[in-house]
Amino acid sequence: MIKAFKSVLISLGLIVLMTGAFVGRSEVSAQTSHLFRTYKHEVPQKLSETSEAIAEGKKVYEKRCWYCHGIEGKGDGPASKTMFPKPRNFTRNEYKVRSTAAGSVPTDEDLFRIVTSGIEGTAMPFWNTISETERWQVIYYIKTFNEQFKKDTAPKVVSVGSVASTPDSIKRGQELFKEVKCYECHGEDGRGNGPLTVALQTEWNMPYRARDLSKSWNFKGGNATEDIYRTISTGFNETPMGSYLEKLSDEDRWHVAHYVKSLSKDMASDVVVKVKLSESEQLPIEPLDENWGKATPVEVPLAGQILASPRHWAPSIDAVMIRALYNKDEIAFLVEWDDSTNKQEEIFRDAMSLQFPTKIPESLKKPYFAMGDSSGAVNLWSWKAHWSEGFGSIASGAPETEAGAVIEMNAKGFKNIVTQPPESQNVTGKGIYQNGRWKVVMKRTLKTEDAKGDIQFEIGKLIPIAFAVWDGSNSDVAGQKSVSSWYYVSLEKPVPKTVFVYVLIAIVIGASIEMWFVARLRRFPPKLEEGQ
Amino acid sequence: MAKKRSKFLMIWVITAVICLFLFLKYASPKIFQVLMAKDHTMPTPSTLMMWYMIMGILAGLVYATTSNQKFADFLGFLLPGGGPTIKILLQKVLFIGFPVIVGWFVYSWAIPGAASPVELRIQHPTLPQEFEKLENPFRQTDAETQRKCIEEGKILFQTYCRPCHGSKADGNGPFSNSFRLRPINFQDPGTIATVVDNYVFWRIKEGGPGLPSESTPWDSAMPSWKDDLKDDEIWKIIMGEYDTAGVMPRQREKLE
């Protein structure tokens, strides 16, 4: 009897396992969330600052650092021409990340932390790849470029207390953000679009931009609340970011730090943009439509266009966020990006373009991700801002929002771009600029009559998509743009009703087998022959 | 010694299987994060997870059937009566739970899954013939000239290659996050250290567009530099690149 049960049980177990085997497959390849560095705070035991250490440091410097920072430490190395922000000039006291009062030089430990972790969003790499000894040596050499290091022998270290982050603290921080006029540079939503930002550019000898506080990955010296607190307290030397040590109490600086921390977001990146089926008859055409909240946003990091001359080494837009919805007839995209300097002495128009292959690829083969190639054409949906004052004029008094216009194009490489004829132009769009952020909607029917030049959307397929953004005030035009490589959009299949029938059948079968098994068990209970 | 008998053997086996699942799903990614010193968790791959679970369930069944006594106890749990309230409660949970789990399996199998992109490529395609015969003109020069060439090459590398490949030639330049096919880390001994100078020359000159289709040229962000850099500059960049990365090019085998 027991044997019979054994075999029944084992086969039941195997049935469960085989169904289970299919479950694991629905894992989607999320792009890593660890694209950006984490700043290390620990500093090991200092090396003594001897002339031998400085001489060794000079060797390290002239092997690794001078290409950017210059042989004389003036921040004018030969590689600095393809850089923005520019490398530090060590002969001046432009040190940003410091634990010392404004105008002072940083401590050796401050320098060690930055040499070790580098600075995200700049060309400064993390040098934890060289030995600690070498790092101390090179720091001692760098200090010889500036006499001030000798005078300020014991730089004043700003005390660091702590206040817990609470909703009240954040609210107080928000009030202080207004009171001490942080918004004048950082903007009301912290996107670095304050009215002073652009005005300040000419006063410093380098272009200057207030930090976009919504992008946590770009915070200089780290995005922990302690790092933000330190920056508010000490300021950045030789920048408009001053020290608030005197202007705000210790507690208030913590409140502001908590508020700034609450503004900052990590980049939520993924490889596939999932397009949700919308129940409504009409897809939203307004960028501020609340229905966009139903779509899952995906953020995509952008780089300068470096594939063909003239290359763009210093793009100002480093990410776009995309959402998409579809219904039985149409598909609509909402693309958002931060642009801190819109409409101020704009020379060129802000623009954005979506790129699709003209056909959904059947195999691995796709057109070249940068504007296609001779064997693979792409379909471009190109949106451009416009304003009533006219192209090229200073847009004072221009309205806050602009619709813009969408043009459909086809390309087979950089030099082979064709605008589609008027009868094939079937993408509609609308853009709005608000508080340092562009939000642009583009909409089209899923299928068009121009099957040769237009992408035809199909449900459930992986459709390549790439992005490009132009920032007019950064002189972006034509090939001077921020670009991404190929990503994908996928129109999600709705869950068919039949699935629930399958599930019901499975539950009934499962329950019947179970009942049969238990009934049999009860009828012939497993008995051990005593003394076995 | 009296034989220890457990009326709850079935529950223990099920609990052990659930524990195994929870360990693989939540604990192991954290443990491996610490062990491998990574900044991120290391999720268990889904196929591996499936096989571990199959082994876990089979191990549970094997254990339950090691003796007839045990097996009788194992099944005996399903028999009515003769136990505390907790037993009756657990019995009910089992009776309801089994069909629900079967239903859930079928549901997750039948809903349309999101397709994951497959991006296969060959890293080192064959060097085209016209590049095979080339020689780096500066490798044979005297030490002084070579040193000068390396230095000039490093400056060019830092100017034009650094934005993607990084100051250290480690593939971590400021633009590297933005290209899904990440810029190559030249310090990795599996990259430029395994090829000859000419190969690198070909890659710099022709870039992504010059790749054969098995190496997915459409995803490569490597520019073609033939219009912007002279051949001499490219050879110098190669010398500076190897020096920055701290590796040596592969030497040609001498055919005697």
- What is the number of structural domains in chain A? 3
Statement to judge: residues A209 and A282 lie in one domain: no
In this model, does residue A34 exceed pLDDT 50? yes
| Residues A272, A273, A279: CA angle, nearest 5 degrees | 135
Report the distance separating Cα A191 and Cα A181, nearest Å.
14
Statement to judge: residues A485 and A367 lie in one domain: yes
Q: Please report residues of B whose CB lies closer than 8 A to that of A492.
A: 112, 114
> Which of A365, A483, A488 minimises the CB distance to B117?
A488
Residue A371 vs residues A82, B160, B219: alpha-carbon distances, Å: 23, 22, 12
According to the model, what pLDDT value does residue A15 have? 55
Report the distance separating Cα A83 and Cα A314, nearest Å.
6
Q: Are A465 and A273 in contact (CB under 8 A)?
A: yes
Q: What is the CATH number of the domain that holds A464?
A: 2.60.40.1190
Q: Any bridge partners for residue A380, and if so which?
A: A355, A409
ipTM of the complex: 0.84
In this model, does residue A84 exceed pLDDT 90? no
Q: Any bridge partners for residue A336, and if so which?
A: A321, A439
Each residue's pLDDT tens digit, B141-186:
899 999 999 999 999 999 999 999 999 999 999 999 999 999 999 9
Q: What is the CATH number of the domain that holds A171?
A: 1.10.760.10
Statement to judge: residues A312 and A384 lie in one domain: yes
Structural tokens at position A365: 């083969």
Q: Any bridge partners for residue A274, and if so which?
A: A490
Mean pLDDT for chain A overall: 85
| Residues A504, A505, A506: CA angle, nearest 5 degrees | 90
* Sign of the torsion formed by the C-alpha atoms of A340, A341, A343 and A346: negative
According to the model, what pLDDT value does residue A319 have? 94
Statement to judge: residues A423 and A456 lie in one domain: yes
In this model, does residue A5 exceed pLDDT 80? no
* Sign of the torsion formed by the C-alpha atoms of A175, A178, A182 and A187: positive
Asked which of A126, A151, A176 is the last residue of a domain, the reply is A151
* CATH number for region B129-245: 1.10.760.10
Count CA within 13 A, CB hemisphere, residue A532: 9
Give the mean pLDDT of A368-395.
Answer: 75
Statement to judge: residues A115 and A218 lie in one domain: no
> Which of B58, B99, B227 minimises the CB distance to A507?
B99
Of A27-36, A121-130, A169-178, B39-48, which gets the smallest average pLDDT?
A27-36
Question: Beta strand pairing status for A487-491 and A272-277?
Answer: parallel
According to the model, what pLDDT value does residue B174 have? 92
Report the distance separating Cα A56 and Cα B152, nearest Å.
23
- DSSP string of A455-477? ----BT-EEEEEEEEE-GGGT--
Contact B39 A38 (CB under 8 A): yes
Contact B98 A514 (CB under 8 A): yes
CB atoms within 10 A of CB A156: 13
Chain A residue with minimum CA distance to B74: A526
Contact A506 B174 (CB under 8 A): no
According to the model, what pLDDT value does residue A12 have? 56
Statement to judge: residues A304 and A327 lie in one domain: yes
According to the model, what pLDDT value does residue B149 have? 95
Contact B221 A503 (CB under 8 A): no
Domain for residue A513, yes or no?
Answer: no
Report the distance separating Cα A139 and Cα A53, nearest Å.
10
In this model, does residue A344 exceed pLDDT 90? no
In this model, does residue B59 exceed pLDDT 80? yes
According to the model, what pLDDT value does residue A343 have? 56
Each residue's pLDDT tens digit, A166-207:
999 999 999 999 999 999 889 888 998 888 876 665 444 556
Domain for residue A129, yes or no?
Answer: yes
User: What is the gyration radius of the CA atoms in chain A, in angstroms?
Assistant: 30
Task: Measure the N-to-C terminal CA separation of chain A; round to a whole number of Å.
Answer: 15
Domain for residue A113, yes or no?
Answer: yes
Statement to judge: residues A366 and A475 lie in one domain: yes
Domain for residue A478, yes or no?
Answer: yes
Domain for residue A22, yes or no?
Answer: no
In this model, does residue A465 exceed pLDDT 90? yes
SS3 for A444? strand
Q: Are A143 and A109 in contact (CB under 8 A)?
A: no
In this model, does residue A30 exceed pLDDT 60? no
Give the mean pLDDT of B230-249.
Answer: 94
Share of chain B above pLDDT 70, in %: 95
In this model, does residue A35 exceed pLDDT 90? no
> Which of A77, A313, A521 minimises the CB distance to B163?
A313
Share of chain A above pLDDT 70, in %: 86
According to the model, what pLDDT value does residue A193 have? 85
Statement to judge: residues A253 and A279 lie in one domain: no
According to the model, what pLDDT value does residue A302 have? 95
Statement to judge: residues A147 and A173 lie in one domain: no
Report the distance separating Cα A68 and Cα A78, nearest Å.
6
Distance from CA of A372 to the nearest CA of B (A): 8
Domain for residue A515, yes or no?
Answer: no
> Which of B39, B178, B217 minimises the CB distance to A34?
B39
- Residue with the larger pLDDT of the pair A151 and A10: A151
In this model, does residue B232 exceed pLDDT 70? yes
Please state the three-class secondary structure of A116-180 as a single string. HHCCCCCCCCCCCCCCHHHHHHHHHHHHCCCCHHHHCCCCCECCCCCCCCCHHHHHHHHHHHHHC
> Between A and B, how many CB-CB pairs are < 8 A?
234
- Tell me which amino acid residue B248 is: M
Domain containing A351 equals 272-491
Structural tokens at position A22: 């299919």
Domain residue spans of chain B = 9-101, 129-245
Q: Are A220 and A232 in contact (CB under 8 A)?
A: no
Q: What are the two backbone dihedrals, phi and then psi, of residue A127, each rounded to the nearest 5 degrees?
A: -105, 30
Residue A413 vs residues A175, A359, B97: alpha-carbon distances, Å: 51, 16, 59
Chain A residue with minimum CA distance to B228: A309
In this model, does residue A209 exceed pLDDT 60? yes
Structural tokens at position B133: 């015969």
Question: Which of the four pLDDT bands, split at 50, 70 and 90, describes residue B87?
Answer: confident
Of A129-138, A249-258, A282-291, B114-123, which gets the smallest average pLDDT?
B114-123
* Sign of the torsion formed by the C-alpha atoms of B202, B207, B210 and B212: positive
Report the distance separating Cα A80 and Cα A23, nearest Å.
52
According to the model, what pLDDT value does residue B241 have? 95
According to the model, what pLDDT value does residue A387 have? 56
Domain for residue A40, yes or no?
Answer: no
Domain for residue A43, yes or no?
Answer: no
Question: Which of the four pLDDT bands, split at 50, 70 and 90, describes residue A342?
Answer: low
Statement to judge: residues A358 and A450 lie in one domain: yes
Task: Tell me whether B8 touches chain A (CB under 8 Å).
Answer: no
Question: Which of the four pLDDT bands, split at 50, 70 and 90, describes residue B111?
Answer: confident
In this model, does residue A32 exceed pLDDT 70? no
Report the distance separating Cα A138 and Cα A73, nearest Å.
12
Q: Any bridge partners for residue A304, and if so which?
A: A482
Structural tokens at position A434: 């608000």
Share of chain B above pLDDT 90, in %: 50
Contact A28 B218 (CB under 8 A): no
According to the model, what pLDDT value does residue B220 have? 93
Each residue's pLDDT tens digit, B6-19:
778 888 899 999 99
Residue found by looking up tokens 């003036």 in the block: A74
Asked which of A263, A280, A313 is the last residue of a domain, the reply is A263
Statement to judge: residues A252 and A276 lie in one domain: no
Each residue's pLDDT tens digit, A415-463:
899 999 888 889 988 888 888 899 999 999 999 998 899 999 999 899 9
In this model, does residue A19 exceed pLDDT 80? no
Statement to judge: residues A276 and A259 lie in one domain: no
Say which residues have a Cβ less than 8 Å from residue A502's Cβ, sequence separation at least 6.
B106, B107, B110
According to the model, what pLDDT value does residue A404 have? 63
Give the mean pLDDT of B240-252.
Answer: 91
Mean pLDDT for chain B overall: 88
Q: Please report residues of B whose CB lies closer than 8 A to that of A369.
A: 218-219, 221
According to the model, what pLDDT value does residue A85 have? 84
Q: Are B61 and A10 in contact (CB under 8 A)?
A: yes
Task: Tell me whether B15 touches chain A (CB under 8 Å).
Answer: no
